[in-house]
Amino acid sequence: MRVLRRILASGEGFSGLAMLAVLLAVALAAPLLAPGDPLAIAGDPLLPPLQDMAHPLGTDRLGRDVLAALLHGARTTLLVAIGAAAAALGIGITVGTVAGFLGGWVDEVLMRIAEAFQTVPAFLLTLALISVTGPRVTTIVLGIAIGAWMQPARITRAEILSLRERDFVAAARVIGMRPLEIAFREVLPNALTPVVSLAAVVVAAAVLIEAALSFLGFGDPNRVTWGSMIAEGRTVLRRAPYLSIIPGIALVLTVLAVHLAGRGVAHALRSRRVVA
Amino acid sequence: MRRAGRLLARRLFGALPVLGLVAIGGFLLLEAAPGDAVDAYLAGIGGGDAAQVAALRAEWGLDGGPLPRLAAYLGALLRLDLGWSTAFERPVLAVVLERLPNTLLLMGMATLLALSLGSLLGIVCGARPGSPRDRALSLAAIAIYAMPGFWLGLVLIVGFSVRLRWLPSGGIETVASGLAGWDRAADIARHLVLPVASLGLVYMALYLRLMRDGMAELWRQDFVRAARARGMAGPRLVLRHVARNALLPVVTMLGLQSAAMLGGSVVIESVFAIPGLGRLAAEAVARRDTPLLLGVMLLSAVVVILVNLAVDLAYALLDPRVGSGTGG
């Protein structure tokens, strides 16, 4: 609770978390706020925003309501971003803990593999996985995680390395705990703080990669996403630029909120460390 | 110079296992994709009979188990044979090398923009952390950093191509313009303004923040206080003592971000219809051409390794503890 209060006390942390809370509420309430299929035709095509209050943000090329698509798109964005970030952090923390605690050739091999992954652009890795498995939400989540686990792994490893010679680890050895048990139950919980600060960066990157994928047409075709809305609007960019600009603003605000919240969290955790 | 040479040799040698791992990853991807190189080749030339298929499989080393197939794949890579592109019906190597220069040009220009503008504005912010100028620029940087590059590209197209009609909205040069020499270079430059801005501005924002935060930190360091106590002030103090040291993390980030920038070029090149490596990757996925996608990945890995090598060398020149510098 003290940490939460400290996050809210900083301007950045407060505005970031407030924006995220609104986004989450919108995503959860989308079926209530805009009932029915957001991909269904709702009115005249290419209605500009703020003209007809039945469609406050206008309609697209086929007459689908922009606001409804925007609200439902928030669900996909959050689902993919949070899922991908959780998967990336899960893989990264596991690899980093094993590499850092066991050391030796295991460490050498795992870190070489991480280096190889970092040498190939993450977006290409994601594209490669999707091209083999097909575009579904689960494979997109996994694809993004495959391109994002390396930095969490490195940071976890560094943190574990700095902890593994401490007395409490030696004590755990003496009472007969197995190495991996010590690594995950004793050392890892003490190493998590800097990794948690990294979570915001991973979530923000996941939002942007998901958007880019669906913009290129490699997203799940059965879901509305902000990226696919921008791509759809691009075909009539000259006549109706608002169709591409509006979902982009939603993306910018989301990523901005994640960054601000992340800075607030990092700041709060840092000041706690100084106190401790 | 000798030390630079040794560094170069050590890094190049260290890159080999990494490249090997990337190649093995590529092989696993090829195995996971439906069909093999022979299927792809036969689909391209219009099919063949069973005996011919078997002969081709034996010749390309594809008739054994996974390990012989891996050996055949790595052997082919060592001979710079990246396989056959089904989408273009040409060798992968020829296709990717043809697209490489455009991407390198785009990336180089975007890096130049991001580095120069980012460190310049970062110095403006970091010279007086907390000033109104610093707050305004830092806020703008955070907003730009949150923008998807492809969306920024579309917004720039709406502004500068559709409304103002100042700049072309796509392509790398005017088709069949008959231009040559400097005129052609100017034409290409005009076409590159918007894509370079879309790709580079995000990194500009990143470098601005890094530079600014680094300088804010450095003002508290002893050697800066000592310089101040000696009576040093103004641009000399800001540039030689503070900015120079804050530039190091920016240069490090430059290498780390080269892979991300190549990934970003996939979308930017698609938005602006630039025939480069990035758009080729998107085409390869859309047309289910796995060998071609792998070729792009391998070439990207080589580019990233070389860029990081260049960054290491630049670092050795910049770091006052390495050179004959005055700072530190």
Query: What ipTM was assigned to the predicted interfaces of this complex?
Result: 0.87
Going by pLDDT thresholds of 50, 70 and 90, the confidence category of residue A255 is very high
Distance CA B210, CA B170 (A): 32
Q: Which of A204, A237, A252 comes nearest B157 by C-beta?
A: A237
Q: Which of A122, A204, A255 comes nearest B263 by C-beta?
A: A122
Phi, psi for B165 (deg, rounded to 5): 60, 35
Residue A218: closest CA among chain B residues belongs to which residue? Answer: B286
Residue A257: closest CA among chain B residues belongs to which residue? Answer: B146
Q: Which amino acid does the sequence have at B205? A: A
Within a domain: B22 = no
pLDDT of residue B58: 74
Contact present, B206 and B118 (Cβ < 8 Å): yes
Q: Which amino acid does the sequence have at B29? A: L
Q: Inter-chain contact B264–A119, Cβ cutoff 8 Å?
A: no
Size of interface A-B (CB pairs under 8 A): 138
For residue A73, the chain B residues in CB contact (below 8 A) are: none
Q: Inter-chain contact A122–B260, Cβ cutoff 8 Å?
A: yes
Q: Which of A131, A211, A260 comes nearest B285 by C-beta?
A: A131
Q: What is the mean pLDDT of residues B13-22?
A: 85
Going by pLDDT thresholds of 50, 70 and 90, the confidence category of residue B149 is very high
CATH of the domain at B125: 1.10.3720.10
* Weakest mean pLDDT among A32-41, A75-84, A169-178: A32-41
Q: Inter-chain contact B259–A127, Cβ cutoff 8 Å?
A: no
In chain B, what percentage of residues exceed pLDDT 90? 26
Q: Inter-chain contact B146–A255, Cβ cutoff 8 Å?
A: yes
Q: Inter-chain contact B297–A120, Cβ cutoff 8 Å?
A: yes
Q: What is the mean pLDDT of residues B83-91?
A: 84
pLDDT of residue B324: 40
Q: Inter-chain contact A252–B157, Cβ cutoff 8 Å?
A: no
Within a domain: B59 = no
pLDDT of residue B327: 38
Whether B178 shows a pLDDT value over 60: the answer reads yes
Distance CA A141, CA A95 (A): 19
Region of residue B28 (phi > 0: left; psi between -120 and 50: alpha; otherwise: beta): alpha
pLDDT digits (tens, 9 = 90+) for B204-246: 999 998 888 888 888 777 887 888 788 777 777 777 778 878 8
Distance CA A98, CA A146 (A): 18
Residue A131: closest CA among chain B residues belongs to which residue? Answer: B285
Q: Which amino acid does the sequence have at A56? A: P
Distance from CA of B162 to the nearest CA of A (A): 6
For residue A112, the chain B residues in CB contact (below 8 A) are: 17-18, 21
Distance CA B58, CA B73 (A): 13
By CB atoms closer than 10 A (0-12, 13-18, 19+), residue B153 is buried
pLDDT of residue A219: 86
For residue B267, the chain A residues in CB contact (below 8 A) are: 123, 212, 215-216
Phi, psi for B85 (deg, rounded to 5): -85, 120
pLDDT digits (tens, 9 = 90+) for B25-34: 888 888 887 7
Contact present, A244 and A60 (Cβ < 8 Å): no
CA distances from A102 to A98, A164, B288 (A): 6, 10, 41
Q: Which of A120, A127, A241 comes nearest B259 by C-beta?
A: A120
pLDDT of residue A85: 92
pLDDT of residue A130: 87
Q: What is the mean pLDDT of residues B273-282?
A: 91
Distance CA A61, CA A242 (A): 12
User: A66: which 2 tokens?
Assistant: 């922009």
Specify the pTM. 0.86
Distance CA A204, CA A251 (A): 10
pLDDT of residue A276: 42
Whether B307 shows a pLDDT value over 80: the answer reads yes
Does CATH place domain A2-275 in 3.40.50.300? no
For residue A120, the chain B residues in CB contact (below 8 A) are: 22, 25, 259, 297, 300-301, 304
pLDDT digits (tens, 9 = 90+) for A1-55: 677 777 777 777 888 889 999 999 988 888 888 777 777 777 777 777 877 777 7
* Weakest mean pLDDT among A116-125, B39-48, B100-109: B39-48
pLDDT of residue B323: 43
Distance CA A102, CA A94 (A): 12
Whether B192 shows a pLDDT value over 80: the answer reads yes
Q: Which of B145, B262, B267 comes nearest A216 by C-beta?
A: B267
Q: What is the mean pLDDT of residues B7-11?
A: 78
Within 13 Å and on the Cβ side, how many CA atoms surround B232? Answer: 16
First CA to last CA distance, chain A:
16
Q: Which of A120, A124, A230 comes nearest B154 by C-beta?
A: A230
Q: Inter-chain contact A237–B158, Cβ cutoff 8 Å?
A: yes
Q: What is the mean pLDDT of residues A254-275?
A: 79
pLDDT of residue B147: 93
Q: What is the mean pLDDT of residues B85-92?
A: 85
Using DSSP, state whether A59 is helix, strand or coil.
strand
Distance CA A256, CA B205 (A): 13
Most confidently modeled range among A63-77, B147-161, B229-243: B147-161
If interface means Cβ-Cβ distance under 8 Å, which residues of chain A face chain B?
A: 112-113, 115-125, 127-128, 130-132, 204, 208, 211-212, 215-218, 227, 230, 234, 237-238, 241, 244-245, 248, 251-253, 255-256, 259-260
Distance from CA of A176 to the nearest CA of B (A): 37
Nearest to A155, CA basis, from A99, A207, A117, A75: A99
Structurally, chain B folds into a number of domains equal to 1
For residue B11, the chain A residues in CB contact (below 8 A) are: none
User: B289: which 2 tokens?
Assistant: 């051409």
Q: Which amino acid does the sequence have at B39? A: D
User: Please, what is the average pLDDT of chain A?
Assistant: 86
Interface probe for B, chosen from A20, A117, A123 (most Cβ of B below 10 Å), is A123
Distance CA A26, CA A72 (A): 9
Contact present, A99 and A106 (Cβ < 8 Å): yes
pLDDT of residue B300: 92
pLDDT of residue A92: 94
Q: Inter-chain contact B33–A259, Cβ cutoff 8 Å?
A: no
* Weakest mean pLDDT among A150-159, A263-272, B131-140, B272-281: A263-272
Whether B169 shows a pLDDT value over 50: the answer reads yes
For residue B285, the chain A residues in CB contact (below 8 A) are: 127-128, 130-131, 218
Whether B268 shows a pLDDT value over 90: the answer reads yes
Phi, psi for B35 (deg, rounded to 5): 80, 165
pLDDT digits (tens, 9 = 90+) for B52-72: 777 777 776 667 777 888 888
pLDDT of residue B234: 75
Within a domain: B310 = yes
Q: Inter-chain contact A245–B284, Cβ cutoff 8 Å?
A: no
Q: Inter-chain contact B154–A211, Cβ cutoff 8 Å?
A: no
CA triple A266-B220-B312, angle to 5 deg: 75
pLDDT of residue A258: 92
Phi, psi for A60 (deg, rounded to 5): -90, -170
pLDDT of residue A1: 62
Residue B137: domain span: 93-318
User: Please, what is the average pLDDT of chain B?
Assistant: 83
Q: Inter-chain contact A215–B267, Cβ cutoff 8 Å?
A: yes
In chain B, what percentage of residues exceed pLDDT 70? 91
Q: Which of B32, B147, B281 comes nearest A132 by C-beta?
A: B32
Going by pLDDT thresholds of 50, 70 and 90, the confidence category of residue A237 is confident
Going by pLDDT thresholds of 50, 70 and 90, the confidence category of residue B320 is low
